[in-house]
């Protein structure tokens, strides 16, 4: 008999994200609109991305034996991928990501605004 948890895990949807680690992205909407940063991590199951310098929160740490003073640290939290667009340096605007086939048949990512290939 299969466990209920195992069945539920297989039903979790993973999103196909078009952004990769290392891409320079620009925030399109929300509190950080207009800011740019590099993608640090990608979370396909959450449909979120962690971006350097965006969505920073302060975490209060209690004093412990390992850290006797405690304190406040700043962490990068994930942001919804729908709020982000790849940064088009030529037009200085966020762009959506599209796909194009090369002459060799290889699929490459392109910027929708300018048609340039994303490296």
Residue 42 lies in a domain: yes
| Whole-number Å distance between alpha carbons of 117 and 119 | 6
Q: Which domain holds residue 27?
A: 4-92
- The CATH number of the domain where 57 resides is what? 2.30.30.30
Provide the number of structural domains found in the chain: 1
Residue 15's contacts (CB-CB under 8 Å, 6 or more residues apart) are 44, 45, 47, 81
Task: Identify whether the C-beta of residue 109 lies closer than 8 Å to the C-beta of residue 119.
Answer: no
pLDDT in tens, 29-72: 999 999 999 999 999 989 999 999 999 999 999 999 999 999 99
Going 89 to 18 to 53 to 82, the CA torsion angle's sign is: positive
Look up the pTM and report it: 0.76
Q: What are the Cα distances from residue 74, in Å, to 51, 57, 64?
A: 14, 6, 18
In a domain, 12, yes or no: yes
Q: Which residue has the higher pLDDT, 83 or 13?
A: 83
Identify the pLDDT of residue 25: 95
Distance of CA 108 to the CA centre of its chain: 19
Q: Is residue 112 part of a domain?
A: no
Q: How confident is the model at residue 1 (pLDDT cuts 50, 70, 90)?
A: low
């Amino acid at each position: 008999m299969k466990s209920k948890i195992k069945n539920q895990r297989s039903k979790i949807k993973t999103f196909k994200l078009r952004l990769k680690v290392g891409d320079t992205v620009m925030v399109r909407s929300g509190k950080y609109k207009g800011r740019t940063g590099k993608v640090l991590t990608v979370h396909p199951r959450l449909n979120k991305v962690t971006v350097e310098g965006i969505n920073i929160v302060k975490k209060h740490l209690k004093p412990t034996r390992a850290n006797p003073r405690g304190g406040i640290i700043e962490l990068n939290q994930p942001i919804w991928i729908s709020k982000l667009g790849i940064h088009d340096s030529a037009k200085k605007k966020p762009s959506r990501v599209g796909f194009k086939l090369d002459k060799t048949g290889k699929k490459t990512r392109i910027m929708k605004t300018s048609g340039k290939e994303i490296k």
